[in-house]
Amino acid sequence: MSAPLLEARGLAVSRGRRPVLQAVDLTLRAGEALAVVGPNGAGKSTLVRALGGLLPPSAGEVLVLGRALADWSGDALGRALALVASEDQGPDALAVEDRVRLGRYPHRGPFRSWTREDGEAVSRALAQAGIEHLRRRALGTLSAGERQLAALARGLAQEPRILLLDEPAAHLDIGHQLRLFRVLDDVRAAGVGVLAVAHDLPRAAAWATRMVLVAGGRVAAQGGPDEVLAGEACASAFQVKVRGHRLADVPHPLYWFEEEPR
Amino acid sequence: MSELGRRRAAFAALGAALPLALLLASAAGTVWLPLGDLLGSIAAAAGLRHASPLTAAGETILWTVRLPRVLLAALVGGGLAVVGATLQSVFRNPMADAGLLGVGSGAAMGAVLAVRLGWAADVFLALPLSAFAGAMAAALAVYALGQAGGRGSVYGLLLTGLAVSALASAGTSVLLVATEEFRVKTVLFWLAGGLEGRGWTHLQSGGLLVLAGVAMLGLLARPLDLLSLGEEEAGALGLPVHATRLGLLGLAALVAGAATSVAGSVPFVGLMAPHALRRLVGPLGRHLLPASFLAGALLVVLADVASRTVSPSMDLPLGALTAFVGAPYFLLALRGSEGRA
C-alpha cells in the first residue's frame, strides 16, 4: 500500500478550554475517498480544520506527505492541501473566476505575476466544477449551490494532493450533489486523496471508499462504508436504527433509518 | 456594458477628471488665475518656455499658496480613500471607514495632544507622528478588543470602533478645555478639517508619508483580497492572517494619521470613494485601491475648492463639507445594504 498522504496520530484538539477531539488516528491515501460522518457537534468540522492546519493540535500530530504540519510553511501547505469549507464568505461583488484565481495564491505569493500555468489551472478547475458558464458572474448573484461549486473550484485551482471538504453538498440539490461527487471521483482518479465531511449517510456511503464515524470527539468506527453504517457504533452515535437493503439492479444498499431514543 | 468596459470607463473618467480638477482648483480662489497663464507658468517652471505669463503676485499665489494646497488635498483624499478600501477588506464590511473604526478620532486626538503639549510647533514631524500614534493606538485597541473572547465578528469590531471613537473624542474634548486660548483655534482646526495655510512643508511631511503608506498598501493588494474571503479561507490559502491584518492596520493608521496631521479630520471620504467604485471596478485590490485613490483625490480637491470659493468672506471647514455629502451617502448606502451582512 502507498504511504499515506495525510495521517493523524493520537490527535487531540481543544477549542478554548473545551476538548473537542481526543486520540484520533486516521489516514488518507492517494486516490482514496474518505467520508467523515457523525452526529452534530461530534467534532467533524474541528477535525477537518485541524487536519488542514487551521487549528493547532493540543496533543498528537498531523503528518502531511510524511512531514509534521508545524514544519510546513503556509504557502507550501496550500500547494499540497486544499480545504473547502461549507460556507463561502467571499464578497458579493467578486466574480467567480476572480475567486477561483485566488486559489493560485499559494503558488504565486503576494508578488509573482500571473503565468500561463496559473491560467490553465483556473480554466481546468472551472471546467471540472462545471461552472465555466458562470465565469464572470458576481458571487452575490449565484445560488447557494453555485457558490459552493465556486468554492470547490478554488480548492481545485490550488492543484492539491489532498482535498479536504467540510459538508461540500450542504446546499446542493440532488443534480448538483451527483455532479459534485462525480467531480470528486474525477479528482481522486488523478491520485488526489479526498476527505469529505458528509451529513447524508446513504450518499456518503455510495461515494466513499472508506468511512470514519466520529462521535463524542473520538473515532467510534472506521472501515468500509456499508460496514460502518451497519455497525452498532453508528446506531448508537445517531440514536437510530439502520436498515440496509440490497436491490438487484442498484450498486449500493438502500438505507432506511428509524428513530430509537435511549 | 461589459465588466471590463465598465472598469476601463471608470478609470478613464477618473484619470481625465483628476487633472482637470487639479487645474481648476489651482486657478480658482479669491483671485482667479487664467488657465492659459497658469499652464504657461507651469511650462516655464518645467523649462519649456522662457518666462511665465503670470504677474509676480500671480506667481506667488500659484506656487506658494495654491499648488501645494491642491496637491495636498489630492494626497489626503486619495490616502483616506485607500485607507477606507483597506479597512473595508480587512474587516470584511463595505461600510467600514477610518471614522467609524475610531482610527480618525484616534489620529485627531494624537494631533490635538501634540498641539496641546507644544510639540507640534517645536519638533519636526511631531504632528504627523503623534497623529499616527493615536490612529495606531485606536486601531490596535479596536482589533484587540474585537478579538477578545474568540473570533472577532464584524459587528463586534464595528461597535468596538464606535466605543473607541467615543473615548478618543472625549479625550479630545478634555484636551480642548485644557488648552490655552491661543492654541484653541489650532485645535479646533483639526476637529473641523481643512487645508487653510498648508504649504510645501506639509506636503513634505504628511504628504510624503501618505504617499509611502499608500504605495505599500498597493503592494499588499493580493493579501488584502485573501482577507476579504474570510479568516478561515485566507488561512487555508497560506496567508498568516493575524500578522497580515496587523501589518495592514498599521499601514492604514500611518496613512490616516499622516492625512489627519495635515488636514484635520475629513470624514466619509474613505467610505464613499471605495463604496461607490466597488460596483464599477470590482472588489479586487489591484483595481479598487488605485481607483479609490483617484476618486478620493478628486473628491477632496473639489471639496477644498468649494470650501475656498462658496463663501467670499471665509473658508468653510473642509471636513464639514465632506460630511454634508458623506453623511447622506452613508445613510443611503446603509438602506441599500439592509438585510445583507
pLDDT (tens digit per residue) in A182-201? 999 999 999 999 999 999 99
**Contact: A110, B219; criterion CB under 8 Å:** yes
pLDDT tops 60 at residue B88: yes
Three-state secondary structure readout of B186-229: HHHHHHHCCCCCCCHHHHHHHHHHHHHHHHHHHHCHHHHHHHCC
- Residue A17 has a pLDDT of 86
- Residue B246 has a pLDDT of 86
Long-range contacts of B87-90 (CB under 8 A, 24+ apart): B87/B252, B87/B270, B88/B274, B88/B275, B89/B224, B89/B225, B89/B227, B89/B228, B89/B283, B89/B285, B90/B224, B90/B227, B90/B245, B90/B248, B90/B249, B90/B252
When pLDDT is cut at 50, 70 and 90, the band that residue B340 belongs to is: very low
When CB atoms are compared, the residue of B222, B237, B283 closest to A91 is: B283
Maximum alpha-carbon separation in chain B: 68
Low-confidence ranges of chain A (pLDDT < 50): none
Q: What is the pLDDT of residues B202-217, one digit of tens each?
A: 898 889 999 999 999 9
Three-state secondary structure readout of chain A: CCCCCEEEEEEEEEECCEEEEEEEEEEECCCCEEEEECCCCCCHHHHHHHHCCCCCCCEEEEEECCEEHHHCCHHHHHHHEEEECCCCCCCCCCEHHHHHHHHHHHHHCCCCCCCHHHHHHHHHHHHHCCCHHHCCCEHHHCCHHHHHHHHHHHHHHCCCCEEEEECCCCCCCHHHHHHHHHHHHHHHHCCCEEEEECCCHHHHHHHCCEEEEEECCEEEEEECHHHHHHCHHHHHHHCEEEEEECCCCCCCCEEEEEECCC
Radius of gyration (C-alpha) of chain B in whole angstroms:
20
Angle at B242 between CA B238 and CA B248, to 5 degrees: 100
Set of chain A residues whose Cβ sits within 8 Å of the Cβ of B340: 92
Q: What is the pLDDT of residues B18-63, one digit of tens each?
A: 999 999 999 998 889 999 999 999 999 998 888 889 899 999 999 9
pTM of the model: 0.90
**Distance from the A23 Cα atom to the nearest Cα atom in chain B, whole angstroms:** 24
Residues in CB range of B167: below 8 A, 6 or more apart:
B102
* Bridging pattern class, strands A33-37 and A59-64: unpaired
How far is B328 from B82, CA to CA, in rounded Å? 21
Question: What integer is the mean pLDDT of B236-254?
Answer: 91
Supply φ then ψ for residue B178, to 5 degrees. Answer: -85, 0
Q: What is the pLDDT of residues B125-162, one digit of tens each?
A: 787 788 889 988 998 888 788 765 444 555 677 788 88
CB B128 within 8 A of CB B209: yes
Q: Which range, of B1-5, B71-75, B303-307, averages the lowest pLDDT?
A: B1-5
**Contact: A54, B236; criterion CB under 8 Å:** yes
Set of chain B residues whose Cβ sits within 8 Å of the Cβ of A93: 278-279, 282-283
Q: How many CB pairs under 8 A join A and B?
A: 75
- Residue B162 has a pLDDT of 87
When CB atoms are compared, the residue of B220, B240, B282 closest to A93 is: B282
CB A222 within 8 A of CB A199: no
Set of chain B residues whose Cβ sits within 8 Å of the Cβ of A16: 150
**Contact: A74, B239; criterion CB under 8 Å:** yes
- Residue B337 has a pLDDT of 63
Question: What integer is the mean pLDDT of B225-242?
Answer: 92
**Contact: B237, A102; criterion CB under 8 Å:** yes
Q: Which candidate in B229, B241, B279 is best for mutational testing of the A interface (most A CBs within 10 A)?
A: B229
Q: Which candidate in A18, A54, A152 is best for mutational testing of the B interface (most B CBs within 10 A)?
A: A54
How far is B83 from B258, CA to CA, in rounded Å? 11
Residue with cell 465578528: B153
Q: What percent of chain B has pLDDT over 70?
A: 94
Task: Enter the DSSP assignment of B280.
Answer: H
- Residue B274 has a pLDDT of 94
pLDDT tops 90 at residue B315: no
Q: What is the ipTM of this complex?
A: 0.90
pLDDT tops 50 at residue B341: no
Question: What integer is the mean pLDDT of B194-198?
Answer: 85
- Residue B335 has a pLDDT of 77
- Residue B83 has a pLDDT of 95
> Highest-confidence range of B68-82, B198-212, B298-312, by mean pLDDT?
B68-82
Residue with cell 512643508: B201
> In chain B, what is the straight-line distance between the N-terminal and C-terminal CA atoms, in Å?
28
